[in-house]
Chains A and B, each alone.
Chain A
Amino acid sequence: GIQVEQSPPDLILQEGANSTLRCNFSDSVNNLQWFHQNPWGQLINLFYIPSGTKQNGRLSATTVATERYSLLYISSSQTTDSGVYFCAVLETSGSRLTFGEGTQLTVNP
């Protein structure tokens, strides 16, 4: 099956800093989603981005499908951004999302 790798596994920032999270995948995909799992365990949809660039406030994401990677940018980070960020992909032939292992982000005040 498809492999999804996220980097870095852990990231510690000071409030106000910017960061870039990366997601590499091993095969063609029909869908790519970024999620934020907050400290209460809830999975929040951030982006549905099989290709191109999208922005939502301080967050933006870019997927380069031909090179099989996606980037999530967080600008002016806040303590509430802390949690685990997951990338998940949907293979062209399937219906299940395959998740990466996540990036644990800690934003300190």
Chain B
Amino acid sequence: EAGVTQFPSHSVIEKGQTVTLRCDPISGHDNLYWYRRVMGKEIKFLLHFVKESKQDESGMPNNRFLAERTGGTYSTLKVQPAELEDSGVYFCASSRGLQETQYFGPGTRLLVL
């Protein structure tokens, strides 16, 4: 069984540009989560999808961040326009059930210059 995959693995962009991150969850996992670790701090929750619906997006920092999960399969996280403080590692995770183990992808390292 393939794990959670994320693309790209690294992205370097300039302030003001747009970046789109992609996450493919484990097949059959209805729950998909986005988290991020910025500036070496703790990993923080961004949002949670159940299938194609946003269940909880209370962790999204501001309206420059837009997440979608069309069709309930893969998800994208767009940052537009990117700011310096958005630099960090963005993780995606998926789980079969709501309170079950969350499996994390390898992350996307984002650097905004």
* Bound-state Cα–Cα, A58 to B55, Å: 38
Give the dominant DSSP class at B's interface.
Answer: strand
Interface size on B, residues (CB 8 A): 25
Which residues of chain A (70-109) have a CB below 8 Å from chain B? 86, 88, 90, 94-102
- B35 at interface (Cβ–Cβ under 8 A)? yes
- Cβ distance A25 to chain B, nearest Cβ, rounded Å: 13
Q: Is the pair A102, B42 in contact by a Cβ cutoff of 8 Å?
A: yes
Residue of B nearest to A90 (CB): B99
* Bound-state Cα–Cα, A28 to B66, Å: 32
Q: Is the pair B89, A96 in contact by a Cβ cutoff of 8 Å?
A: no
Q: Is the pair B109, A95 in contact by a Cβ cutoff of 8 Å?
A: no
Residues of the B chain whose Cβ atoms lie less than 8 Å from the Cβ of A48? 101
Chain A contacts to B: CB under 8 angstroms: 30-31, 33, 35, 40-43, 45, 48, 86, 88, 90, 94-102
Chain B contacts to A: CB under 8 angstroms: 31, 33, 35, 41-45, 48, 55-56, 59, 89, 91, 93, 98-104, 106-107, 109
